[in-house]
Amino acid sequence: MLQYIYAPLFASSALLLLGSSILMLRKYMQEWDEYKRFIEGFGTLILVFIGAMFLAALHAVTFAATP
């Protein structure tokens, strides 16, 4: 029963994380030069990947704990 509550929560938080990272990338593209933009964009993508892995692990632990 909990999967009906947690699945939309995890999906919406993943979409929110992706959307905020895209907005951050757009802001950095407008303000910084090419080299700094690449470094910041790459760091942001790594942070998004780590956040997605954290959400996936939390999702798996939550579903493993539900009977």
For the segment 6-62, what is each residue's pLDDT rounded down to a tens digit? 777 777 787 788 888 777 777 776 666 666 767 777 777 888 888 888 888 887 777
Domain count of the chain? 1
Question: Which among 63, 62, 25 is positioned nearest to 44, based on CA atoms?
Answer: 25
The whole domain housing 44 covers 3-65
Distances (CA, A) of 13 to 26, 44, 63: 20, 16, 17
Using 50, 70 and 90 to split pLDDT, how confident is the model at 67? low
CA–CA dist 17, 28 (Å, integer) = 17
pTM: 0.42
